[in-house]
């Protein structure tokens, strides 16, 4: 059953319980002024009719020029780039284009839930390769998951939900498997500019990967403007044209004024990235330190919006139960890990917390958690 996404469910619970929402990943700041001003200008300039399917040339050109450098090869703005309604549409379009009913797609678990459902919408089956408690890839496990029906592999670095940057060794191992079994790779890199430790490398830069990889990224995380829903897919012309063909019939094209605004903002990428990234690094420290003091065990997080912990002082049988206890008794909304697994019942006892919130909000949340713990509200006897 498809049902409601966990992000919608938990955001609704936050409203119902008047809780502090550390669940869904979105910043609670107005966004970089350079990008917002570009948006206002763009609306006034009259960019208000349909964009061409594939996106406005100004944005495709900007994306091509930045990613030519990032990927170390020439990217053609019209053939190798397509603009989508957020990274989400690019993910769905790639799965719909590349998978037939009966096919299998590999995801590394925990996996962002949109991959599982995009694969299923294509009539195919997601196959999870468990990253285990360290959130690191076991290359043998990946090899064993491949069957004659495997068509594609979905990679996500920096990783949601763990905040890990996939290492060069892991990317090399994935590349070797993809090449050996002639698989297509969808590489979701939406958090690529929000790296606090280590550095991001795209799997598309590995030998033999350029021809088989489509890289997906978006303005949502880069500019902290998740409501803009402007994303892009970059890769070899044949693969990208298949993504574009599907996207034409999903949405035809995304919001024209915002595409122009993102093109403008990308022109100031080097100025904007530190403004978005550096406060997040500080917020990460506030949340991680605070949770550790409360008895949770945070997993190291290098990038993105999230930190994973165990259930700490919350006494519960499942992560979902723990998340409900936290929402109802402590007024704190988190995301339980189950929906990130093909078989949710096999998920570990882990919660995801977002630090994409201002430090004052995080400190309020930590104080509220402390009060609930001190009053014994997180233990079962009070249930």
Residues lying near ligand PMP in the complex (CB under 6 A) = 25, 86-88, 112, 156, 160, 188, 190, 218, 220-221, 226, 229, 231
CB atoms within 10 A of CB 383: 10
Continuous segment of H or E residues that includes residue 153: strand 150-156
Which residues does residue 351 pair with via DSSP β-bridges, in sequence order?
309, 336
Residue whose CB is less far from ligand GLN, 82 or 156 = 156
Decide whether 109 or 325 has the Cβ nearer to ligand PMP: 109
Residue from 9, 14, 17, 25 touching ligand GLN (CB under 6 A): that is: 25
CB half-sphere exposure, 183, CA atoms < 13 A:
29
Q: Which of 134, 129, 24 is nearest to 341 (CA)?
A: 129
Binding partner selected for residue 24 from ligand PMP, ligand GLN, none, CB under the kind-specific 5 to 8 Å limit: ligand GLN
Q: Which is nearer to ligand GLN, 160 or 217 (CB)?
A: 160
Rule CB under 6 A: which of 258-317 touch ligand GLN?
none
User: Given the complex with ligand PMP, which of 220 and 330 has the nearer CB atom?
Assistant: 220
List the alpha helices (DSSP H) in the chain.
6-16, 33-44, 57-71, 86-98, 113-121, 139-145, 168-180, 219-222, 237-250, 256-266, 269-293, 319-325, 359-374
Residue closer to ligand GLN (CB basis): 64 or 87: 87
206 binding partner (options ligand PMP, ligand GLN, none; Cβ < 5 to 8 Å by kind)? none
17 vs 159, beta carbon nearer ligand PMP: 159
Taking 3-state DSSP, the helix, strand and coil percentages for the chain, each rounded to the nearest 5, stand at 45, 15, 40
CA torsion sign for 228, 229, 235, 237 is: negative
To ligand PMP, the closest distance from the beta carbon of 183 in angstroms equals: 20
Which among 185, 103, 123, 253 has a CA at the least distance from the CA of 244? 253
Which residues share a beta bridge with 126?
A: 105
State how beta strands 104-109 and 125-130 pair.
parallel
Q: Is 251 in the site for ligand GLN (CB under 6 A)?
A: no
For the chain, first and last CA: distance in Å?
29
Site track for ligand GLN across 229-248, x = CB under 6 A: --------------------
Site mask, ligand GLN, residues 144-163, x = CB under 6 A? Answer: ----------------x---
5 near ligand GLN, judged by CB under 6 A: yes
Residue 21 CB, shortest distance to ligand PMP, in Å, is 15
9 near ligand GLN, rule: CB under 6 A: no
Query: Taking CB within 5 to 8 Å according to partner kind, which of ligand GLN, ligand PMP, none is near residue 156?
Result: ligand PMP
- Strand stretches in 219-357, DSSP E: 231-234, 306-309, 332-333, 335-336, 351-354
Record the tokens describing residue 226, joined without a space. 């998740």
**Closer to ligand PMP at the Cβ: 190 or 335?**
190
Distance between CA 298 and CA 350 in Å, rounded? Answer: 10
217 interacts with, out of ligand GLN, ligand PMP, none, CB within 5 to 8 A per kind: none
Q: How far apart are CA 175 and CA 203, in angstroms?
A: 7
How many residues of this chain bind ligand GLN (CB under 6 A)?
A: 5
**Plot region of 295 (φ>0 → left; ψ -120 to 50 → alpha; else → beta):** left
103 binds, among ligand PMP, ligand GLN, none (CB under 5 to 8 A by kind): none
Residue 191, classed as helix, strand or coil, is coil
Q: Among 231, 195, 196, which residue's Cα sits nearest to residue 88?
A: 231
**Minimum CB distance to ligand GLN, residue 353 (Å):** 11
CB closer to ligand PMP, 231 vs 235: 231
**Binds ligand GLN by CB under 6 A, chosen from 24, 157, 309, 320:** 24
- Binding site residues, ligand GLN, CB under 6 A: 5, 7, 24-25, 160
């Amino acid at each position: 059953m498809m049902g409601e996404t966990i992000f919608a469910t938990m955001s609704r619970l936050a409203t119902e319980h008047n809780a502090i929402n550390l669940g869904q990943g979105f910043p609670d700041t107005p966004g970089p002024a350079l990008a917002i001003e570009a948006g206002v200008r763009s609306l006034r300039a009259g960019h208000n009719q349909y964009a061409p399917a594939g996106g406005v040339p100004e944005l495709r050109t900007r994306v091509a020029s930045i990613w030519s450098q990032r990927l170390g090869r020439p990217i053609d703005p019209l053939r190798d780039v397509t603009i989508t309604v957020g990274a989400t549409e690019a993910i769905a379009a790639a799965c719909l284009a590349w998978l037939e009913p009966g096919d299998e797609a590999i995801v590394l678990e925990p996996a962002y839930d949109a991959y599982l459902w995009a694969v299923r919408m294509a009539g195919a089956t997601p196959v999870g390769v468990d990253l285990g408690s360290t959130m690191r890839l076991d290359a043998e496990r990946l090899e064993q998951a491949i069957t004659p029906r495997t068509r594609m592999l979905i990679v996500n670095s920096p990783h949601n939900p763990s905040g890990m940057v996939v290492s060069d060794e892991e990317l090399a191992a994935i590349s070797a498997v993809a090449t050996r079994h002639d698989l297509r790779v969808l590489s979701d890199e939406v958090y690529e500019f929000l790296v606090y430790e280590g550095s991001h490398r795209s799997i598309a830069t590995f030998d033999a990967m350029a021809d088989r990889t489509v890289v997906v990224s978006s303005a949502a995380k880069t500019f902290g403007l998740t409501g803009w829903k402007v994303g892009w897919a970059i890769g070899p012309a044949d693969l990208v044209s298949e993504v574009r063909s599907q996207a034409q019939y999903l949405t035809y094209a995304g919001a024209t004024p915002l595409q122009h605004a993102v093109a403008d903002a990308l022109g100031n990428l080097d100025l904007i990235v530190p403004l978005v990234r550096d406060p997040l690094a500080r917020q990460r420290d506030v949340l991680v330190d605070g949770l550790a003091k409360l008895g949770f065990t945070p997993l190291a997080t290098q990038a993105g919006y999230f930190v994973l912990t165990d259930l700490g002082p919350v006494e519960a049988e499942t992560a979902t139960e723990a998340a409900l206890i936290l929402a109802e008794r402590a007024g704190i909304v988190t995301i339980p890990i189950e929906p990130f697994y093909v078989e949710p019942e096999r998920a570990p006892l882990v919660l995801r917390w977002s630090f994409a919130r201002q430090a004052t909000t995080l400190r309020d949340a930590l104080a509220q958690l402390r009060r609930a713990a001190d009053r014994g509200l997180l233990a079962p006897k009070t249930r």
